[in-house]
Amino acid sequence: MGAYTITAVCGGETATAVVTIPDLTGDLTVTATVLDASATVTGLSDDQAVTVDWGDGTAPDTVSLTDGAGTATHTYADATGSPYTVTVTGNTSGAVLTADVTVTPPPLTVTATTAADPQTTVTVTGIWAEDTTVTVDYGDAGTPEQLPVTGTAATAAHIYPQNGTYTVTVTGDVTGQTDSADVTIAGWTDVVVDPMTSDAMWPALVYSTALTTPAEMITGDASAEDGNLLRDTGYHLREYPDNIELDPTALYRIAFRVRSSGTTPPQTYLGISGIAADGTTRVNGNGDDSPGAQYFAAAQRATLPESGWTEYVGYLRGKSAPATGGSEHHDPDDPGTFLEEVVYIRPIMSLAYKGDTTAVMDVDTVRLTSAQVPA
Ligand SMILES: [Ca+2]
């Protein structure tokens, strides 16, 4: 390629001629927008047409050139082979040009709607074929959930634990394509929220070996949500004194923010007491009139971590026989139930356990909230 000098010698005579062979190289430019690619070739002045192989196994295109230039377009079916190598071959010159093109999957789209606040429906569309599953991070403290994909879509329902605005993020498990959407939750109503500024609402019950000494009220503790906390040493059983009428259709969330402050972590029971229609008779999970074996959905003799605040959460809803709320129920999709005879409820907490006189347990906050969530 280029200019060549031809010399002819004949009987002492020499003749020369300069022959210019057209330059067979050219320029290939390939661009891609999401899945659509475009290849532009210039400078193949000898070629009337070129063959474009898109590098994805599909049949090559033949593109006519005008003055050595032409453009071809192609839609990639997926991005699994990206970057693809596009090869253009001059049909006359045999010139071969290559270029890599990166194809990007389209972003999936997430929408989150409060179909029945605080329950949200998360809908994902535009999921790319490689993503047979996507991972949903609901933006709360819960573990992200992996969803199966049907076609190009996925749907999930999620109950948020408290009011607020959350960002739902969905990520394709193979492509990594991702999108997020905000959802605002307002469906929870406070029933009892006590920051523990006083022990007046938490009388110690006379039961079994439980101590009935007054709680120590701590103020100015920067690690507590409001600086205030209730501290007990040894086994105390404390129950909220007021009856709260049980709404059998409501989902109840009972949460205790507690910690161990002694040398030996206490064991604790945390949940809700059931009270009969007379307002005084207790109806525990076994149907007995006892503060024991109540609906300890948040913690069943849980041993606290050696230090640091932990929030124990339980969910209860409705009535059944037998009741299921006598065991831990941490999942709002799987709340425990009360017995049929339960008409009123009260938060209840066992600070340390039977016979324990040394473990120290702090209570920062007790929160009982409710929401209407379709079963
Ligand atoms: Ca507090």
Domain 189-372 in the same topology as domain 109-185: no
Q: What would the pLDDT profile of 116-148 be if each residue is shown by its tens digit?
A: 899 999 999 988 878 899 999 999 988 999 999
How far apart, in whole angstroms, are the C-alpha atoms of residue 236 and residue 207? Answer: 9
Q: What would the pLDDT profile of 12-54 be if each residue is shown by its tens digit?
A: 777 776 654 444 567 888 888 778 889 898 888 788 899 999 9
Residues in Cβ contact with 100 at an 8 Å cutoff, skipping those fewer than 6 apart: 30, 83, 84, 85, 86
Q: Any idea where the domains of the chain sit in the sequence?
A: 27-101, 109-185, 189-372
Centroid of ligand 1 to alpha carbon of 311 (angstroms): 12
* The CATH number fitting domain 189-372, selected from 3.40.50.20, 2.170.190.11, 2.60.260.20, 2.60.120.260: 2.60.120.260
Centroid of ligand 1 to alpha carbon of 292 (angstroms): 26
Centroid of ligand 1 to alpha carbon of 215 (angstroms): 14
Centroid of ligand 1 to alpha carbon of 193 (angstroms): 10
Centroid of ligand 1 to alpha carbon of 207 (angstroms): 26
Q: Quick one: how far is CA 319 from the chain centroid?
A: 31
> What are the tokens at 277?
């229609």
Centroid of ligand 1 to alpha carbon of 195 (angstroms): 4
In the CATH hierarchy, which top-level class contains the domain 27-101? Answer: mainly beta
Centroid of ligand 1 to alpha carbon of 270 (angstroms): 17
Centroid of ligand 1 to alpha carbon of 234 (angstroms): 20
Query: Residue 57 — left, alpha, or beta (φ > 0 → left; ψ -120 to 50 → alpha)?
Result: left
Centroid of ligand 1 to alpha carbon of 206 (angstroms): 25
Centroid of ligand 1 to alpha carbon of 267 (angstroms): 20
* The CATH number fitting domain 109-185, selected from 1.20.1250.20, 3.30.1360.20, 3.40.50.12370, 2.60.40.10: 2.60.40.10
Q: What is the pLDDT of residue 36?
A: 87
Mean pLDDT of the chain: 91
- In contact, 120 and 157? CB cutoff 8 Å: yes
